[in-house]
A = this chain, B = another copy of it.
Amino acid sequence: MSKILIVDDDKEYRENLKEILDNAGYPNDMAGSAKQAMQKLGDQQFDVVLLDFMMPGIDGINALGEFKKISPNSKIIMITAFASIENAVIAIKKGASEYISKPFKIEALLLMIKQVIEELRFEGNIKKLKLEGTLSSLSNSIRREIIRLFQTSKKIRLMETARKLDIEDHTKLIFHLKTLRAAKILRQDMKHAYMLTKEGKKVLECLNILDNYLSDK
């Protein structure tokens, strides 16, 4: 179950929020200051942070930036009594996922929490899929050779590649090029030449890293 951190300097309000989360069944923890919150964020993994804007010391917006640095994968929901478009914009720019102003309906907050957790789940899957695709692309030696060709060339063409890799049947090569295209590692320009995507460049770097990593005794 997704864990939530409540950050609010107002004890009463804080415990109020805790009760709401407890009733909704979310495991949660509380912090009464930005400092305490950062410590907890560094310590454990929280999926969502409920952050109240009006805090003494570093104010909420600054805290927000710090929190994101410490725990970039946590979703942050800003809660504030002094809502304004400017503040909302700043908060979102600094990395808040949602912005809600007091007073709010409990259901509205719970819905928001549900949504960001859903986003989190989705992003996690995307990440997993990307790793999946990358590793299955790299599992084939022909595909690795293709990717390595981009060490020196920016673009490669089909038949030229076939000759370089000494592959007689060009349709075999097309199969692997297609696989790499499906994995978003390669793309083609208007004139059919193949080139690395942004993702593909990362994959090439990964390959180099693995090479180095595995080679030294």
Contacts and interface: CB of A to CB of B under 8 A. Distances in A.
Interface of A: 72-73, 127, 130-132, 134-136, 138-139, 141, 144, 199, 202, 205-206, 209-211, 213-216
B211 A131 contact: yes
26 contacts: A72-B216, A73-B215, A127-B211, A127-B214, A127-B215, A131-B144, A131-B210, A131-B214, A132-B141, A134-B210, A134-B214, A135-B135, A135-B138, A135-B139, A135-B144, A136-B139, A138-B139, A139-B139, A199-B214, A202-B213, A202-B214, A205-B213, A206-B210, A206-B213, A206-B214, A209-B213
Contacts of A135: 135, 138-139, 144, 210
A143 to B, nearest CB: 10
Contacts of A209: 206, 209, 213
Q: Which 4 A-B pairs have the closest CB atoms?
A: A139-B139, A135-B139, A135-B138, A136-B139
A201 to B, nearest CB: 11
Nearest to A131: B214
A134 to B, nearest CB: 6
Of A138, A144, A209, most B-chain CB atoms within 10 Å: A138
A205 B214 CA distance: 10
Contacts of A134: 210, 214
A180 to B, nearest CB: 15
A134 B210 CA distance: 9
